[in-house]
Amino acid sequence: MNILMALSQLEVTGAEVYATTVGDELARRGHRLFYVSDTLTKPHQGRYFRLRFNKRSIPRRFWHVAYLIYLIKKHRIQLVHAHSRASSWSCHVACRLTGTPMITSVHGRQPVHASRKKFHALGDRALAVCEAVRNQLIDSLGVSPALIAVGRNGINTDHYQPSPPADNDKPVISLIGRLTGPKGELCYRLLDGCLDLESYRVQIASGSAVPERFERFKEQVTFLGYVQDVPGLIARSDLVIGAGRVAMESILMGRPTFAIGEANAVGLVTADNITAAMASNFGDIGPRDLDIDFSAIPAQISAALAESTTDNRIIERVKAAYDLRRVVDELEHHYQSVYVHRLRQEVPIIMYHRFIRNDSEKGVHGTYMHVNMLEKHFKLLKRLGYETLTFADLADRGIASRLKAGKKYIIITVDDGYRDNYELLLPLLEKYGFKAVIYVVTGEQFNRWDVEQPDNPEKRVELMNPEQIKALADSGLVEIGGHTLTHPRLDQQDKAAQHHEIAENKAQLEELIGRPLTSFAYPFGIHNEDSKQLAKELGYPFAVATDSGPLAMHEDPYQIRRIAIFPRTDVFGLWRKIKGNYVFRKAKK
């Protein structure tokens, strides 16, 4: 996807670190990142455009919106991700005017006033960095809970590994953060009466220029300026004081961490208070600003210095909650949901069964397609510029890759594994350069499940033999998928019987084609929770149904909707079904 990160800042902030950190991971996954902000200091992958969001006069705001519209159109931006109040206001208007999906990460407590309550300017979804921010948006600003999710900071945990205790002749206390705004006020209060500057060696890492009022501390405090090697700084410290990302990084390195921020003082982070610390973003967010008892801090600092390392349980808790890969997995999920539902567009997944040469091969159940019409379908797809994907492609590239800018993707699936798939479908795939996913039954030689229906029997149709299945898999154009041994109605079987049907079919196919299977199709599209759980436990990344499941495929990869193609689906009918909004229109009915 083409993603625009929007920030408003005049110096390095936690929001910038968040945006560039997750942005680099998104870029690694194949997304294209663009940034727009007053300044951008951290190294990043993607183009940067300067826009002075902090200039907030009415003419300036019109200019901000106009420039954002220009960027969205020029660079085919598919989603805007805003990270501040000033940028979110302009982005919200620009996205409304262009129909572009938008997400806002809310990094701090929001001001409460009448206009903010009426005009949230959060876009299609808000990601609060902690529970306290989420609660404030709901309780104070009246934002709908359905609009908000908790989206934590992402940290590359590989960069912050536990290190041995520092060996300093005098305790070293490191404060990391801005010297301006509320954080600057907090830092000043700590230096002015909470830290014994004679007994401790205090150092401050900040990208801010040192304000004049801090000059009085320069003989007793080391002002390091902006520090690139934060892990090295933390490793040399006996105690780290900070909030948000600073606290998380310090904990990951096993350092005693005193969490204190713009709202409250958590104190030394322990196993007893880690949940509350995370909920407040380690002190940054509280019920009101600067709810801190500064008189109690000196004794708490002294006690914190008695600790040499952090409890490993806390490290594991932070690692699990803030690991960059996990956070970006969740972020990609939000991106896809907002994009698909806002535009009401999803990659079409069409479903065929078998193919015939003449009318004598027609069946009773309407699961056939004349090969001449199939070729007309393929000609239409080629003319409209569609490219085919398989689920193996999505497993390799990531499911979000289906939304790549400038691409029109479709997934062609074929159920049961009839012999005509080899005889009639494969030549057309080769002719048009298309790929397909064929779901194969391995415990039958013909369609016994349809033939032996007493009230509506189907004619007998042969299934592929192992050599034909192997030839399809080796063609490079077909992903072979699982479809059980005997094509039963899984919801009518107990879990053990389902396990045998799914597992044995998978094992037989994998032995035959020499590679793991990626996707599974429930026979008749019918399944229950046991079926879904077994597909996952047996190692399938994806499982497809028919007309059940979420409208966006990533929202349940074990119940993916498909669009049935019937004998009477002509070229116009196919065009209607593959426009991208078919499942939305059908669901609305």
Instruction: Write down the pLDDT at residue 287.
Output: 62
Please list the residues that pair with 479 across neighbouring strands.
Answer: 437
pLDDT tens track for 544-555:
999 999 999 999
pLDDT tens track for 283-295:
887 666 567 888 9
pLDDT tens track for 217-262:
999 999 999 898 999 999 999 999 999 889 999 999 999 999 998 7
**Do residues 367 and 524 touch, judged by C-beta distance below 8 A?**
no
- For 392-403, b where at least 16 C-beta lie within 10 A, e where not — what string? bbbbeeebbbbb
Output the CA angle 366-526-541, nearest 5 degrees. Answer: 110
Burial of 169 (0-12, 13-18, 19+ CB in 10 A): exposed
- For 533-568, b where at least 16 C-beta lie within 10 A, e where not — what string? ebbeebebbbbbbbeebbbbbbeebbbbbbbbbeee
Range(s) within the chain of domains with CATH label 3.40.50.2000? 2-150, 157-317
Query: 554 CB contacts (<8 Å, ≥6 apart)?
Result: 333, 336, 337, 399, 400
Instruction: Specify whether domain 157-317 bears CATH 3.40.50.1820.
Output: no
Question: Maximum CA pair distance of the chain?
Answer: 97
Task: Classify domain 345-588 at the CATH topology level.
Answer: TIM Barrel (3.20.20)
**Do residues 84 and 15 touch, judged by C-beta distance below 8 A?**
yes
User: Can you say how many angstroms the Cα of residue 510 is from the centroid of all Cα atoms in its chain?
Assistant: 30
Query: 222 CB contacts (<8 Å, ≥6 apart)?
Result: 201, 202, 203, 204
**Do residues 170 and 200 touch, judged by C-beta distance below 8 A?**
yes
- Cα–Cα distances in angstroms (integers) from residue 126 to residues 36, 82, 134, 201, in the given order: 19, 10, 9, 41
Range(s) within the chain of domains with CATH label 3.20.20.370? 345-588
Q: Which CATH number fits domain 2-150: 2.102.10.10, 3.40.50.720, 3.40.50.2000, 3.10.129.10?
A: 3.40.50.2000
Reference 516, options 489, 552, 480, 561; nearest CA is 480
Burial of 495 (0-12, 13-18, 19+ CB in 10 A): middle
Tens digit of each residue's pLDDT, the chain (589 residues): 999 999 998 888 888 999 999 999 999 999 999 999 999 999 999 999 999 998 888 899 999 999 999 999 999 999 999 998 889 999 999 999 999 999 999 988 777 777 666 778 899 999 999 999 999 899 988 899 999 999 999 998 888 999 999 889 999 999 998 898 888 989 999 999 899 999 999 999 998 889 999 999 999 999 999 898 999 999 999 999 999 889 999 999 999 999 998 778 889 999 999 999 999 999 887 666 567 888 999 999 999 998 878 889 999 999 999 999 999 999 999 999 999 999 999 999 999 999 999 999 999 998 999 999 999 999 999 999 999 999 999 999 999 999 999 999 999 999 999 999 999 999 999 999 999 999 999 999 999 999 998 888 999 999 999 999 999 999 999 999 999 999 999 999 999 999 999 999 999 999 999 999 999 999 999 999 999 999 999 999 999 999 999 999 999 999 999 999 999 999 999 999 999 899 998 877 6
Quickly count: other Cβ atoms within 10 Å of residue 123's Cβ.
23
- Structure tokens belonging to residue 349: 């997944």
Return the SS3 of 105: strand
**Do residues 243 and 279 touch, judged by C-beta distance below 8 A?**
no
- Cα–Cα distances in angstroms (integers) from residue 484 to residues 178, 399, 451, 564, in the given order: 60, 24, 17, 20
Residue 246 is which amino acid? V
